[in-house]
Amino acid sequence: DAKTTQPNSMESNEEEPVHLPCNHSTISGTDYIHWYRQLPSQGPEYVIHGLTSNVNNRMASLAIAEDRKSSTLILHRATLRDAAVYYCILIERWGGSEKLVFGKGTKLTVNP
């Protein structure tokens, strides 16, 4: 079962910042927090990941709470192309392999 909870949907306006929350209260000390997104009619794509400190890349920023029980994906200026389902995932390691266990995700709608 997925170990994260996210709102089912969120809405934003184009060129405004978007903050997508994720709760992972049962996170262990070695769990990485990953975010993937799935655009319509495409496979999921990696967005960002982190362990303890906040992270930035060209797509987004990831803010991780000090107790690591929650995190927030930040899109600084939403575009229409960012409309997608965003998944917050704790990676599970199983026999040397990694498993992505997807939760229900947050469907982001971006209004023009």
Partner 1 sequence: DTEVTQTPKHLVMGMTNKKSLKCEQHMGHRAMYWYKQKAKKPPELMFVYSYEKLSINESVPSRFSPECPNSSLLNLHLHALQPEDSALYLCASSQERQGSQGRQETQYFGPGTRLLVL
Please name the residues in contact with 35: beta carbons below 8 A apart, sequence gap of 6 or more.
Answer: 22, 46, 47, 48, 49, 60, 62, 73, 86, 87, 88, 89
CB of 9: closest distance to partner 1 in angstroms? 12
Positions touching partner 1 (CB under 8 A) are: 2, 32, 36, 38, 41-46, 49-51, 53, 55, 85, 87, 91, 94-105
Complex with partner 1: residue 30 or 112, whichever CB lies closer: 30
Phi, psi of 25 (to 5 degrees): -70, -20
Partners of residue 86 on adjacent β-strands:
37, 106
Instruction: Please state the closest distance from residue 41 (CB atom) to partner 1, in A.
Output: 8
In this complex, which beta carbon is closest to partner 1, that of residue 26 or of residue 56? 56
